[in-house]
């Protein structure tokens, strides 16, 4: 059985957000919820200042606190290492969300996609309502509904349960890459089986010194970051007193 | 209608209105969703969860007090036993109402039994409190039919005592096991919850007896009167314990330079405070302790009522403070979407959930007093 992992090459990443947008349409993610997200950090003080951009997603931790704490095993590990969620078993206690050290789980506080459920047209008799629009497009609730998501999870998760990135388990199952990996125009995301020493991810991890988020917590995250996006040069210097 | 009779019906009417309002809110929550709470994906556990913790721990405290006569055989306290068991049940029902309305999908609860996760503190908490409720109910029934000393009664008493020791440890570990939120203080949180349970249980016992005596108009009955002094002592000791704990906690928080704590500290005084002492600690813990330390106040009903009343409000505020301060800053990428610090004030729906939980407990207290002969004690 493979153990899936992702390497994110920060030197290649241009911060375009393709990953997040493609994730949204692949997984029918509602507004306010982010399966794929980013951390922006600023360093230095003006005028010597720059910002860093770290794309984030569920780390599919080996020692996942979200899984350990879930009372009903709704949050669980698959054999291939993916941290998966079963909304049918979820009681919506939000403990996983409370427990995840990475801020990647979200709760459905309301029926998802409220905008596309609206029945009222903006101009009566002139425009169609969002709900009519979605229906005309042949979607389910949203016009850009992706039915493939429903192969392993409800296509759109109901209110009252949590949701998060699944490494696109429904695609991986069919031998396809996660959608964010495929959509990245800079090839900054590399996906594969970390238990296979010849996989691309294993090779990269042996070549560069990777880091993971909040490693000291012992969660054993399986999203690795390599290199750094910093094209700047500076004159060699020894500083001064 | 006599004055006391009309007062009774006015009281029942008020409870009825409160419960009705709470049920309307519950219906809205089930149909529309929990966006009706002022919670979000950073601060996800809010007032209803705090009320749950508070009521569940108070129920635990009452059970522990009931164990003095029922498990440890202190006969002097037997006149309190049946009432304490009943209050523990009613308070726990209130707690379940509050958490039931906090959960996103309470209908999936049966998976707690069908698909248990034994490494989850929430699972253990739910399991132990469910067992506790059943054991207490059976125990109450045994007491009600006059069985005080049968082997079954003893087993039930011991079982409820054990559950009451473990349950607060589990509530504490729900927080304490969250390694990503160090400000919840690891295993110490469990000990804190146990002490808070004894404190709010003792406060409720003291306060309740005094209110009951006042409503009855005839003052405390002789047997209860004799016990109240001891209850006041237990109450004061419990305050002392929580004070020591709280001061140690404040000292650690003040001395540490761990960034999480520094941030926590910045936001830890939701209700304000003087120096490093929070308002609810000053008014809900230190002040009543001082009141109970002054003999001329300690020995009066009014003094005891004030002190226990302050603690009953104070302990809820302390639970809320700890709960909120540990979740007021976004984690990781959520900082992109949310401000550095989440301001929180409960929405009307959260207040109504609290009202419903408390009103259900109060309704049960009222009916219990009327129909269940709560002061019964065995003949010796
Ligand atoms: S990143 Fe969070 S949600 Fe994902 S496996 Fe780790 S703890 Fe669970
Ligand atoms: S919210 Fe659902 S998935 Fe998360 S811990 Fe609770 S039951 Fe498990």
| Domain ranges (residues) in chain B | 15-368
Residues 6+ apart with CB under 8 A from B119: A68, A69
Q: Which residues of B touch A68 (CB under 8 A)?
A: 117, 119-120
Residues 6+ apart with CB under 8 A from B239: B199, B285, B288, B289, B292, B311
Phi/psi for A224 (5° steps) reads -110, 145
Which of A72, A106, A110 lies nearest to residue B115, judging by beta carbons? A72
Ligand closest to A85 (CA) is 2
**Range in B1-10, B107-116, B152-161, B326-335 the model is least confident about:** B1-10
Closest-CA residue, ligand 1 atom 4, reads A58
Instruction: Give dist(CA A64, CA A168) in Å, integer.
Output: 18
Q: What sign results for the dihedral spanned by CA atoms A184, A186, A188, A190?
A: positive
Closest CA to B261 of B250, B272, B253: B253
Ligand closest to A97 (CA) is 2
Query: What is the residue whose two structure tokens read 């589990």?
Result: B170
Which of B102, B116, B120 lies nearest to residue A69, judging by beta carbons? B120
Instruction: Give dist(CA B365, CA B372) in Å, integer.
Output: 10
Instruction: Give dist(CA B109, CA B103) in Å, integer.
Output: 9
Tell how strand A106-107 and strand A83-85 pair up.
unpaired
Residues 6+ apart with CB under 8 A from A96: A65, A66, A67, A69, A70, A75, A105, A162
- pLDDT tens, position by position, B215-233: 877 667 788 888 999 999 9
Residues 6+ apart with CB under 8 A from A176: A168, A182
Instruction: Give dist(CA B125, CA B169) in Å, integer.
Output: 9
- If you measure from the C-alpha of residue B214 to the centroid of ligand 1, how many angstroms do you get, rounded to a whole number? 55
Closest-CA residue, ligand 2 atom 7, reads A90
- Give, as one character, the DSSP assignment of residue A4: E
Residues 6+ apart with CB under 8 A from A159: A108, A109, A110, A111, A112, B33, B34, B104
Where helices occur in chain B by DSSP H, the ranges are: 3-32, 47-70, 78-102, 111-114, 121-144, 151-176, 188-216, 222-255, 259-267, 279-281, 287-293, 295-298, 301-325, 348-371
Average pLDDT of chain B to the nearest whole number: 93
Q: Give whole-number Cα distances, B98 to B25, B36, B93, B247, B359, in Å.
A: 12, 15, 9, 30, 11
pTM: 0.95
- Residue A6, ligand 2, Cβ within 6 A: no
Instruction: Give dist(CA A99, CA B327) in Å, integer.
Output: 11
Assess whether pLDDT exceeds 70 at residue B288: yes
Instruction: Give dist(CA B269, CA B117) in Å, integer.
Output: 35
The pLDDT of residue A170 = 98
The pLDDT of residue A146 = 97
Instruction: Give dist(CA A222, CA B130) in Å, integer.
Output: 37
Low-confidence ranges of chain A (pLDDT < 70): none
Q: Which residues of B touch A59 (CB under 8 A)?
A: none
Q: Give whole-number Cα distances, A112 to A56, A105, B41, B129, in Å.
A: 22, 15, 15, 33
- If you measure from the C-alpha of residue A82 to the centroid of ligand 1, how many angstroms do you get, rounded to a whole number? 10
Q: Which residues pair with A231 in a beta bridge?
A: none
Whether the CB-CB separation of B182 and B261 falls below 8 Å is answered with yes
Task: Classify B15-368 by CATH class.
Answer: mainly alpha
State both tokens at A116: 């596309």
Closest CA to A102 of B108, B335, B236, B169: B335
Q: Which residues pair with B274 in a beta bridge?
A: B277
Closest-CA residue, ligand 2 atom 2, reads A90
- Give, as one character, the DSSP assignment of residue B175: H
**Range in B25-29, B59-63, B376-380 the model is least confident about:** B376-380
Which of A91, A99, A100 lies nearest to residue B108, judging by beta carbons? A91
Question: Mean pLDDT throughout B266-279?
Answer: 81
Which of B120, B332, B337 lies nearest to residue A104, judging by beta carbons? B332
- Residue A81, ligand 1, Cβ within 6 A: no
- Residue A76, ligand 2, Cβ within 6 A: no
Query: What is the residue whose two structure tokens read 């599919």?
Result: A60
Domain ranges, ordered by start, for chain A: 17-181
pLDDT band at B272 (very low <50, low <70, confident <90, very high): confident
Assess whether pLDDT exceeds 80 at residue B251: yes
- If you measure from the C-alpha of residue A66 to the centroid of ligand 1, how many angstroms do you get, rounded to a whole number? 6
pLDDT band at B325 (very low <50, low <70, confident <90, very high): confident
Chain B residue with the nearest C-alpha to that of A100? B180
Instruction: Give dist(CA B283, CA B289) in Å, integer.
Output: 10
Whether the CB-CB separation of A75 and A66 falls below 8 Å is answered with yes
**Range in A180-189, B104-113, B258-267, B296-305 the model is least confident about:** B258-267
Q: Which residues pair with A142 in a beta bridge?
A: A140
Assess whether pLDDT exceeds 60 at residue B1: no
State both tokens at A179: 């959608």
Instruction: Give dist(CA B25, CA B36) in Å, integer.
Output: 9
Mutate to test the pocket of ligand 1, among A98, A101, A102, A223 (most ligand atoms within 8 A of CB): A102
Assess whether pLDDT exceeds 80 at residue B185: no
Instruction: Give dist(CA A198, CA A188) in Å, integer.
Output: 19
The pLDDT of residue B129 = 97
On the 0-12 / 13-18 / 19+ scale of CB atoms within 10 A, A238 is exposed
The pLDDT of residue A147 = 96
Shortest Cα–Cα distance, B181 to chain A (Å): 8
């Amino acid at each position: 059985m493979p153990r899936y992992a992702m390497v994110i090459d920060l030197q290649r990443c241009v911060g375009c957000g393709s990953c997040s947008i493609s994730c949204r349409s692949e997984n029918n993610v509602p507004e306010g919820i982010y399966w794929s997200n980013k951390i922006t950090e600023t360093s230095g003080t003006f005028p010597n200042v720059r910002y860093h951009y770290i794309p984030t997603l569920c780390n599919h931790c080996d020692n996942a606190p979200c899984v350990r704490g879930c009372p009903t095993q709704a949050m669980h590990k698959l054999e291939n290492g993916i941290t998966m969620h079963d909304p049918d078993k979820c009681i919506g206690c939000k403990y996983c969300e409370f427990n995840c050290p990475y801020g990647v789980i979200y709760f459905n506080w309301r029926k998802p996609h409220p905008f596309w459920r609206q029945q009222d047209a903006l101009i009566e008799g002139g425009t169609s309502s969002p709900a009519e629009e979605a229906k005309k497009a042949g979607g389910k609730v949203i016009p850009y509904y992706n039915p493939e998501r429903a192969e392993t999870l409800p296509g759109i998760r109901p209110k009252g349960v949590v949701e998060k990135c699944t490494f696109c388990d429904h695609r991986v199952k069919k031998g396809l890459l996660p959608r964010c990996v495929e959509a990245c125009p800079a090839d900054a995301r590399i996906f594969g089986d970390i238990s296979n020493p010849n996989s691309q991810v294993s090779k990269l991890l042996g070549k560069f010194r990777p880091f993971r988020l909040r490693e000291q917590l012992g969660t054993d995250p399986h999203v690795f970051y390599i290199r750094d996006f910093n094209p700047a040069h500076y004159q060699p210097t020894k500083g001064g007193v | 209608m006599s004055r006391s009779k009309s007062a009774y019906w006015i009281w029942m009417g008020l409870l009825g209105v409160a419960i009705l309002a709470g049920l309307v809110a519950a219906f809205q929550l089930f149909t529309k969703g929990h966006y009706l709470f002022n919670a979000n994906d950073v601060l996800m556990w809010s007032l209803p969860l705090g009320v749950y913790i508070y009521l569940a721990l108070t129920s635990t405290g009452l059970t522990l007090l009931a164990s003095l006569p029922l498990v440890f055989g202190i006969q002097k306290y037997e006149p309190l036993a049946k009432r304490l068991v009943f209050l523990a049940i009613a308070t726990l029902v209130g707690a379940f109402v509050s958490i039931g309305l906090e959960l996103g999908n309470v209908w999936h609860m049966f998976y707690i039994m069908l698909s248990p996760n034994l490494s989850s503190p929430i699972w253990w908490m739910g399991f132990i409190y469910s067992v506790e409720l059943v054991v207490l109910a059976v125990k109450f029934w045994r007491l009600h039919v006059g069985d005080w000393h049968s082997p079954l009664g003893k087993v039930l008493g011991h079982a409820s005592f054990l559950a009451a020791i473990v349950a607060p440890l589990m509530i504490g570990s729900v927080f304490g096991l969250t390694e990503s939120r160090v400000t919840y203080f690891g295993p110490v949180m469990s000990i804190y919850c146990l002490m808070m349970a004894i404190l709010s249980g003792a406060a409720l016992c003291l306060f309740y007896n005094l209110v009951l005596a006042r409503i009855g108009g005839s003052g405390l009955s002789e047997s209860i009167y004799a016990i109240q002094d001891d209850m006041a002592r237990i109450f004061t000791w419990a305050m002392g314990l929580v004070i020591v704990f709280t001061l140690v906690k404040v000292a650690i928080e003040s001395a540490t330079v761990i960034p999480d704590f520094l941030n926590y500290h910045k936001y830890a005084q939701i209700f304000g405070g003087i120096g490093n002492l929070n308002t609810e600690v000053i008014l809900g813990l230190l002040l009543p302790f001082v009141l109970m330390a002054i003999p001329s106040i300690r020995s009066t009903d009014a003094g005891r009522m004030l002190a226990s009343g302050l603690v009953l409000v104070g302990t809820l505020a302390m639970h809320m403070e700890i709960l909120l301060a540990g979740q007021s800053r976004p984690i990781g990428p959520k900082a992109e979407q949310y401000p550095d610090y989440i301001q929180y004030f409960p929405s009307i729906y959260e207040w109504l959930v609290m009202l419903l939980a408390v009103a259900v407990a109060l309704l049960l207290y009222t009916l219990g007093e009327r129909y269940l002969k709560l002061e019964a004690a065995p003949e010796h």
